[in-house]
Amino acid sequence: MLNRQGCCIYKGVAVTMRLFGSPDPCNPASATQLELRSWSVERIVELSGYRTDIAAQYAVANIVCFPSYYGEGFPKTLVEGAACGRAVVATDHPGCRDAIELVVTGGLVPVKSAPSLADAIQMLIETPELRLRMGKAGRELAEQAYSIDRIFEQHLAIYKELLGDG
């Protein structure tokens, strides 16, 4: 269901879902351009396409959602969202679960469970103090564990160990 502003309504909660990026034709698991158009026509999501101003997009968002269902490695999107002070919701999948401190910086939902994803988003929308607390904790985690200085130190330690200097 949609409201007058074109937002989706789920269990009485209005939400605008914005999708960033574009299909990956080399990845068989990627959504196709036809699927994206269909979702846009159905007003399930607003298609934002490829963006270079992602920090500004996080700044106007309330929640960062990453419902991946294939091997991600370590999703930079979740770290960026946390660094911008946003609560994150992702699928309980390798890589995604490693970027979240469960119930502290965000939530995890079962893979390919749209109702669970919607429920997690609804909870964060209806509980702004939780959403803000998770966002703050996410920012702290990003500063402590994922800052460029911290990553540099970790890489340097690996190189020293490989060279026998560690």
24-46 pLDDT, tens per residue?
888 888 889 999 999 889 888 89
In this predicted structure, the answer to whether residue 69 has a pLDDT above a threshold of 50 is yes
What's the pTM? 0.82
Give the residue, 85 or 146, on which the prediction is more confident.
85
Mean pLDDT of the chain: 88
Q: From residue 101, how far is each of 12, 43, 98, 111, 138 by CA, in Å? A: 29, 32, 8, 18, 8
What pLDDT is recorded for position 5?
52
At residue 101, what is the residue type? E
Paired strand residues for 108: 90
Cα distance between residue 97 and residue 107, in whole Å: 9
What pLDDT is recorded for position 28?
85
Cα distance between residue 130 and residue 36, in whole Å: 31
In the chain, the largest separation of any two C-alpha atoms, in whole Å, equals 65
Cα distance between residue 56 and residue 45, in whole Å: 19
What pLDDT is recorded for position 166?
57
Q: Is 156 among the domain residues?
A: yes
Q: Is 41 among the domain residues?
A: no
Q: Total structural domains in the chain?
A: 1
Q: Is 133 among the domain residues?
A: yes
Interval 86-115: pLDDT, tens: 999 999 999 899 899 999 999 999 999 989
Q: Is 154 among the domain residues?
A: yes
Residue in this structure with the two tokens 């402590």, named with its chain if needed:
144
The residue segments making up the domain with residue 86 are: 52-163
Q: Is 6 among the domain residues?
A: no
Cα distance between residue 144 and residue 76, in whole Å: 15
What pLDDT is recorded for position 2?
42
Give the residue, 78 or 146, on which the prediction is more confident.
78
Cα distance between residue 1 and residue 148, in whole Å: 43
CATH number at residue 75: 3.40.50.2000
